[in-house]
Amino acid sequence: DQQVKQNSPSLSVQEGRISILNCDYTNSMFDYFLWYKKYPAEGPTFLISISSIKDKNEDGRFTVFLNKSAKHLSLHIVPSQPGDSAVYFCAATRGSNYKLTFGKGTLLTVNP
C-alpha cells in the first residue's frame, strides 16, 4: 500500500542547475509533508516541510511546492551542489500522532 510514491529512483543534474524531486500521495487525509535527506550509513535528516494549507515553502536553496488537487509535491534545489548528492525521501503525516509515511526515495547525484 504505497500511500507516498516517489516514482524516480534516481536523478542526475549538473552543479549549479536546478534539481526537481517529485512525490505523489494517495491519502487525502495527509496534512503535513516533509522532505528528508539521507547519506549512506546515516539517519534521515530533516530538510524542509509544508503544511497542507500552504502551496509553497522556501528555505534558502530549497523550495517545496504542494499541489493538493493533484496530490503532488516537489522539492526544488537551486543551485544544486555536489554536497546535495544523497537519497531524498518524501514523507507525509496526518493528525496529531505525527507518524511518518515515507516514499521509497530518490537518489540525487549532482555532478561537478
Partner 1 sequence: EPEVTQTPSHQVTQMGQEVILRCVPISNHLYFYWYRQILGQKVEFLVSFYNNEISEKSEIFDDQFSVERPDGSNFTLKIRSTKLEDSAMYFCASSLDTEAFFGQGTRLTVV
User: C-alpha distances in angstroms, 21 versus 5, 81, 99, 101, 109?
Assistant: 11, 15, 22, 17, 12
Stretch that binds partner 1, among 17-25, 45-53, 60-68, 70-78 (CB under 8 A): 45-53
Given 25, 30, 88, 89, the residue binding partner 1 (CB under 8 A): 89
| Least distance between partner 1 and beta carbon 77 (Å) | 19
| Least distance between partner 1 and beta carbon 99 (Å) | 5
Measured CA angle at 86 (ends 60, 45), to 5 deg: 65
Per CB under 8 A, 56 contacts partner 1: no
Per CB under 8 A, 93 contacts partner 1: yes
